[in-house]
Amino acid sequence: MTVLTVALRSLRGRFVASALTALSIALGISLVIASVLLSRGIKEGFLEGTTDYSLVVGAKGSPTQLVLNVVFRMDVPTPNILYRSYRQLLDDPRVEVAVPVALGDAYQGFRYVATTGAYFAAFPWRRKVFAVSSGRFFRDDAPEQPTYEAVVGAEAARRTGLRVGDRFYEGEEMAEYPLAVVGILRSTGSADDRAIFFTLASFWEMNEVSRKMKIKPLTAVLVRPKRMSDLPSLHRGLNVSTETQAVFPSAVLLTIFNLLSLAEEVLTMILTTVVIVVLLYLFISMYSATLERKREIATMRALGARRATILGIVLLESCALAVIGGVAGILGGHGAAYLGASLLAARGGLVTNLSLVSALEPVVFASVIFLGALAGLLPAVLAYRTEVAENLAPLS
Amino acid sequence: MRRLYATVGVALCLACAHLGPSAYGEEIPRLTFAQLVDSIRANFEVTQTIKSYSGKEVEIQGFIIPAGPPDLSFFLLSRVSAMGNYCCEVPVGQDETVYVYAAKGVKILYDPLRVYKVRGAFEAGPYTDRTYGISLYRVRNARVEEAVGARIFKLGETTTPGSNK
């Protein structure tokens, strides 16, 4: 009978205590893995889902609200800017591309984004590629002849069940202006998957207030300069103006990441405490088991088992619990992260790259085994030093 | 004996203090935005003096303008912060930026009002990047850190920015 077999049989002999110890390790490791995966996934989601445009131009107010709403479809839209701000940007020799967007209203929670065909255009500097999985893109229309054609993001189409040819509206005041689905977008891995796109002319005509406005409103303009070195002067000019603000989307994200890093530090402290509590539990479990088994250990020693063998059995028991708990914890952590990501996605959050197995899992697994052995070391030494004569004495 | 230990200790400290800065690249030349702007000539050309730094490791200090992705693999280094709308003029048509291509893993807490120290391989002269367009000055494989330890001047003292390490 090998040392490993003895250790496993010993664990099986006190099944409930062993299972509870492994479960506590698994829960602790699950918490660590799920927290790290979700935290990394949220950050990656923001990184992958960000815009390729260098500036977002909108009304004066919060830069974070502007970027979260225009790029990530979170928060509420900022106040309107006038269409002439967009025209001025189009005429600016420093600007290569300017794309107007108007946001407001939604269908079953999926935001309406009114824009032009330029929103979907491909450029050499653009990472994001737009393509339709069925149908076609909407046609740009004249302000007086809105087409009410809509292109639906991949996630929005999947969740609402909208198909090419369907007509839809939400709210009785919109019944006169139903949108017709002409295309479904392929997934882009960004907030555009959860949006419903149509033309600015349709948007202005659907809204009672903008219908009456002579100069039409917009929420924002996405800008890409011809030369990056022109960005500071463009940015400054738009911010000194009393009507607009210009925001670097990456600057807003970096500010959010700075805040997230503070939360991550707090989370690290909490997770460290959890790991210490789990280790203590493993130590107490192994220590009390060794105390209870002193007579059994003395018998084994009397039958010829060496001190080193006894030490090895207790250490192996501790490591086996750590391995079982570690494997279950890593699997459970991935499961919990997927569940968390699904819940966040249902609420409009972007979480990506959860399936990637990185250096995290092997490091966590190796650490669990090392710490498991460490927690079992004192009980193992206690078992090692068990005196045969003292512990084989009659009980009564 | 104690005096001997103390002498050896002091000698070792002095040796470390002497060796330390060179290990951290004390010899790296620092370029200022004034030097860069003065080196611009007509037709998007630059002087031979500034070109002589091409391919060499340099240090430039300035404000980060995150014109590229949020991982800061690319950003602009500017003389002027993007935040202060009224502090100083931003000239139109005059290139006062350096295109910085960072080495992987820029781990800084971004602050638009903070001066950062960028060190990397310098390039001068017009170059067109497929993603970021034409530029005059670039730093590749850059390392970024907060510029700390700037010299504090007494009343009446003057300095050149290049000596401000």
Distance CA A323, CA B104 (A): 34
Q: How far is residue B3 from each of residues A176, B7, B14, B15, measured CA to CA in Å?
A: 96, 6, 16, 18
User: What ipTM was assigned to the predicted interfaces of this complex?
Assistant: 0.76
Which of A50, A228, A238, A255 to mutate to probe the B interface, most B CBs <10 Å?
A228
Q: How far apart are CA A251 and CA B144, in angstroms?
A: 16
What CA–CA distance (Å, rounded) separates B144 from B53? 19
Closest CA to A317 of A18, A25, A17: A18
Residue A19's pLDDT is 92
**Which of A228, A235, A236 is the closest to B133 by Cβ?**
A228
Is A255 touching B (CB cutoff 8 A)? Answer: yes
Residue showing tokens 């001066």: B115
The tens digit of pLDDT for each residue in B33-81 reads 888 988 888 777 889 999 999 999 999 999 999 999 998 999 999 988 8
What's the gap in Å between the CA of A62 and the closest CA on chain B?
14
Cross-chain CB nearest to B82 (options A227, A229, A248): A248
Burial B153-165 (b: 16+ CB within 10 A, else e): eeeeeeeeeeeee
A169-227 tens-digit pLDDT: 888 777 788 999 999 999 988 899 999 999 999 999 988 888 888 888 999 999 999 98
What tokens does B24 get?
């951290």
Instruction: Work out the percent of chain A whose per-residue pLDDT is above 70.
Output: 98
Residue B44 — left, alpha, or beta (φ > 0 → left; ψ -120 to 50 → alpha)?
A: left
Rounded mean pLDDT of A336-349? 84
Report the 10 Å Cβ neighbour count for A273. Answer: 10
Residue A248 confidence (pLDDT): 95
- In order of A46, A187, B92, B155, the CA distances from B74 in angstroms are 17, 26, 22, 39
Give the model's pLDDT for residue B88: 65
Two tokens, residue A116 = 């032009």
pLDDT, tens digit (0-9, with 9 covering 90-100), for B10-31: 544 444 444 444 444 457 899 9
Q: What six digits make up the tokens of A242?
A: 């009393």
Q: Which residues of B touch A54 (CB under 8 A)?
A: 67
Q: How many CB atoms lie within 10 A of CB B18?
A: 9
Beta bridge partners of A151: A183, A197
CB-based burial of residue A30 (10 Å sphere; 0-12 exposed, 13-18 middle, 19+ buried)? Answer: buried
Site from A52, A60, A229 to mutate, B interface, most B CB atoms within 10 angstroms: A229
Which pTM value belongs to this model? 0.79
Task: Report pLDDT digits (tens) over B83-138.
Answer: 766 666 666 556 789 999 997 778 888 998 899 999 999 999 989 988 888 899 99
Q: How many angstroms away from the CA of A357 is the closest CA of chain B?
A: 19
**A103 DSSP β-pair partners:** A113
Neighbouring C-beta atoms of residue A212, cutoff 10 Å: 8
Q: Return the closest-CA partner of residue A8 out of A323, A250, A272, A221.
A: A323
Q: Which of A47, A227, A236 sits opposite B90 (nearest CB)?
A: A236
Cα separation values, A312 from A281, A286, A287, A354, Å: 20, 13, 15, 38
